Amino acid sequence: MVRINRVVTRAGDGGDTSLGDGVRVAKNAPRVVAIGEVDEANAAIGVLRVLVRSDAVVDAMLARVQNDLFDLGADLCVPGGDRARLIEAPVVRLEAEVAAMNADLPPLSSFILPGGTEAAAWAHMARTIVRRAERAIVGLEGLNPTLRRYLNRLSDHLFVLARVLNKGGDVLWVPQHLTRGSAASGANEPGVMARNGSTRRGAAGKRQGATSAAQAAPAPARSATPPARRKK
């Protein structure tokens, strides 16, 4: 068990820090940057757990992930360590959880924009940080190969979890050429992407467009000849 007696050590005031094997390196060294980004991902997942604490199943999944990320950081902290802390079992577990969550979701008809519920937005935030951490470790030497696989699976896991947390209300991408096409056809505003992926426009908007067209049409010309007077 780790025991921490002091928090303020002043040892890093010069811009360097110690790895797990005692070697001093700059705080912006690639390995230290990767460790920091894994820590940032863990912090984002911590915020997400606050938002989903009423769901015991999701909270338990994320608690396991947070512990996995600490094991992953410990592996990063010791280059070429003889004992890998993060083993293959958590990777297999993530794959099983992804399959279970995805089984109840409808197929996607478009790419997803990050957002929706507050919890889903934080799941997307954590996902992007995990991707950044994955990019940071790719070039490191003496790396436990399980780390790359784990981060790759975790980003998928958080993506699917975000869909679950949106409860079917995915925020879908509307390509700009479709929006421009709607404008060219006389629509007053871009189409709104519905939850099922279709583009809808309110009937009121259609009526307003028809009224505007009628207003723009020229008035019929008046005859120069006065109408005949009626005989009394």
- Higher pLDDT pick, 54 / 4: 54
Number of structural domains the chain divides into: 1
Strand, helix or coil for residue 26: strand
Domain assignment present for 84 = yes
- Per residue in 132-181, pLDDT (tens digit) is 999 999 989 888 889 999 999 999 999 999 999 999 888 888 888 766 65
Give the percent of the chain with pLDDT over 70. 67
Domain assignment present for 174 = no
Structural domain including 138 reads: 16-165
Strand, helix or coil for residue 199: strand
Burial class (CB in 10 A: 0-12, 13-18, 19+), 155: buried
Q: Please determine, for residue 119, whether its predicted confidence score (pLDDT) is greater than 70.
A: yes
- Packing angle, helices 118-137 and 30-51, rounded to 10: 160
What mean pLDDT comes out for the span 216-220? 45
Domain assignment present for 57 = yes
Q: Are strands 192-193 and 24-26 parallel, antiparallel or unpaired?
A: unpaired
> Which CATH number belongs to the domain containing residue 91 in this structure?
1.20.1200.10
- Per residue in 120-135, pLDDT (tens digit) is 999 999 999 999 999 9
Domain assignment present for 33 = yes
Domain assignment present for 230 = no
Domain assignment present for 39 = yes
- Higher pLDDT pick, 167 / 190: 167
- Per residue in 31-83, pLDDT (tens digit) is 999 999 999 999 999 999 999 999 999 999 999 999 999 999 999 988 876 66
Domain assignment present for 231 = no
Domain assignment present for 181 = no
Predicted confidence at residue 180, as pLDDT, reads: 66
Mean pLDDT for all residues in the chain: 79
Question: How sure is the predictor about 27, in pLDDT bands with cuts at 50, 70 and 90?
Answer: confident
User: What is the DSSP code string of 79-112?
Assistant: TT-SS-SS-SHHHHHHHHHHHHHHHTSPPPSSPB
Predicted confidence at residue 44, as pLDDT, reads: 98
